[in-house]
Amino acid sequence: IGRLGWGRHFEGLAARLDGAFGADGIFAHDRLRFVDFVDDVEELLEEVARQERGDEEAADDFEEFVLRHYAGDSG
């Protein structure tokens, strides 16, 4: 990540997602709703898209895709 110049995009990432996963690497459903986690990740991706491409639309469908695919939300 550092050699790619993406480090600036991930500053504070750990802090924003702190508590999302337990020490065993399993998502901590008892501490954070999956929907809220996905929303936070989409916001991070939108910020990267805004900085890299000048437009956050590149990440617009992320939340919908993840919720449909992993949470079984059919829309």
Give tens-digit pLDDT for 51-64. 777 777 777 777 77
Q: What are the distances in angstroms from CA 17 to CA 11, 34, 65, 66, 72?
A: 12, 12, 20, 17, 22
Note the pTM of the prediction, 2 decimals. Answer: 0.62
In a domain, 26, yes or no: yes
Instruction: Give the total number of structural domains in the chain.
Output: 1
Full residue range of the structural domain in which residue 24 is found: 6-71
Choose among 39, 34, 46: nearest CA to 70. Answer: 34
In a domain, 58, yes or no: yes
In a domain, 13, yes or no: yes
Q: In DSSP terms, which residues pair with 21 in a beta bridge?
A: 27
In this predicted structure, the answer to whether residue 70 has a pLDDT above a threshold of 80 is no
In a domain, 31, yes or no: yes
In a domain, 1, yes or no: no
Mean pLDDT estimate for the chain:
75
Q: What is the pLDDT of residue 33?
A: 87
In a domain, 16, yes or no: yes
In this predicted structure, the answer to whether residue 4 has a pLDDT above a threshold of 60 is no
